[in-house]
Structure 1
């Protein structure tokens, strides 16, 4: 309970200081809106912001699922063959270190469907942690257990299914927690780069439009929704980790 109460109390204290400062210093809302102004904007523009939030969440979820599936498959291939890992792992690193803002315009041009192009961009951002963590996990088997499976003449499929995958689960879920936040970041950055208007636009477009129109309360309201979405994604993945590992793995039993 303490791990939830203390952050909430600290957040309430900081928001209270923010409100007092904006009122006492008479800070204009077009510079720094007060928490009350942001809350009013959330209520007044609820339909617009919720529609944009749904678009961003949809792209984030699709990108996260795509990254999870692709990352696991690539990690399995790396573990089965050192040659494959040596040949392709540098390219996975290359994707990680290449700024998405540099390649997103090309992806948006090549992939005609706007939603699909944004999903591809966000997937590239979220992919590497799952590849890296899952690969490390699949290789982090106890030497004694590996020798026992070899002594029992277990097949490669049996070693993978009964030894490597259970050993890799903590690493895999750690990668998922990182990838979930990166998928959201990738979705928002891709929306910024796309900069398309009209219906079906996400929160990033609302931030851009609010900045152009000096509607700073709406800009802050969109930022709040993005932050809350990130927290919700991390919390959901943390709950999934506890559900999957809580009954048997030391990382959750010792919490």
Structure 2
């Protein structure tokens, strides 16, 4: 199909990028629905998309409230991870000795399983919401530190020498050279960290197993499993997945808005 013969919506490259995954997703749902119907798969084994949609609609108030609880923890953890990660990276880039001394301990946050230390944090911190936020923050902070340090270090040597030749201070070099050069890497870290903050919040909720009015989607998954309400499990999992995709897309839009006018990574081909 030539560009002139394409429908107006598909002529836009951005619309084509959105339409392609949506078409694949719709096809997968159609095949899933047909297999469940033709094979008469029991709903307690694999519910059909129509059964999941019906449950999502019937239990919307319960699941939406749980989604808000999980989102609140996710956003608090993500904001805290961004603040701590960027400030830590700024400190590391000022001193190689400081980076060599402290960076291994930042790596510990990444390699230590959150399910192993989450019970300790929940015991030490009396407030469940704060404990869950700390767990999710620990899981999300390392990509911010790693990508920001990489971006701040990856500056053009010629420009760095020019700043030194003009006797620019450390602060001027950081604000006017290192930070603009590091923005693509920082936004890459934001994409990764946003998803990890959501995963950390869900994992922490699993470990905590808190009930009552402050229950997140992880608790609804556990409760649905205990009750063998498999469609509700899939509905809660669907909300978690869609939330993760939307967070990633939001970070992508933010990156495009900030970089599309001057950096080749976000310019239209």
Structure 1 and Structure 2 fold alike (TM over 0.5): yes
Instruction: Bin the TM-score by the shorter chain.
Output: over 0.9
Tell me by how many angstroms 1:181 deviates.
0.4
Matches within 5 A, 1:174-185: 174-185=188-199
For 1:108 and 1:244, the matched residues in 2 are separated by 38
2:35 to 21, 28, 41: 21
Structure 1 unaligned regions, length at least 5: none
Deviations 1:181-206 (A, max 9, x none): 00000000000000111111100000
- Alignment correspondent of 2:265: 251
**What does 1:139-218 correspond to in 2, within 5 Å?**
139-218=153-232
The answer for the alignment partner of 1:226 in structure 2 is: 240
1:96 aligns with 2:110: yes
How far apart, CA to CA, are the structure 1 residues paired with 2:161 and 2:54?
A: 64
Deviant stretches of 4+, over 6 Å:
none
Give the secondary-structure state (helix, strand or coil) at the position aligned to 2:213.
coil
**1:199 partner SS:** helix
Normalised by the size of structure 1, how large is the TM-score?
A: 0.99
1:12-39 residue CA offsets vs partner (Å, 9 max, x unmatched): 0110111111111111111110100000
Which residue, out of 123, 126, 134, partners 1:112?
126
Aligned to 2:86: 72
Matched, 1:237 2:235: no
Query: Aligned equivalents of 2:48 and 2:212: distance in 1?
Result: 29
Corresponding position: 1:50 with 2:64: yes
Is residue 130 of structure 1 aligned with residue 148 of structure 2?
no
Per the TM alignment, residue 150 of structure 1 is displaced from its structure 2 partner at its CA by 0.5
Alpha-carbon distance, 1:233 to partner: 0.3
* Structure 2: gaps of 5 or more residues: 1-14
Which residue is equivalent to 2:23?
Answer: 9
SS in 2 for 1:133: helix
Cα deviation per residue 1:124-171 (whole Å; 9 max; x = unaligned)? Answer: 000000000000100111010001001100111100110111011000
Residues of 2 paired with 1:48 and 1:104: CA distance?
26
| Cα shift readout 1:27-82 (whole Å, capped 9, x = no counterpart) | 11111101000000011101000000000111111110000000000000000111
Aligned CA-pair RMSD: 0.7
Give the alignment's TM-score, normalised by structure 2. 0.94
Q: How does 1:79-90 map to 2 (within 5 A)?
A: 79-90=93-104
Q: After superposition, what is the alpha-carbon deviation per residue over 1:76-132, rounded to whole angstroms, capped at 9, x for unaligned?
A: 000011111011100011110000000000000111110110000000000000000
Q: How many residues align structurally?
A: 255
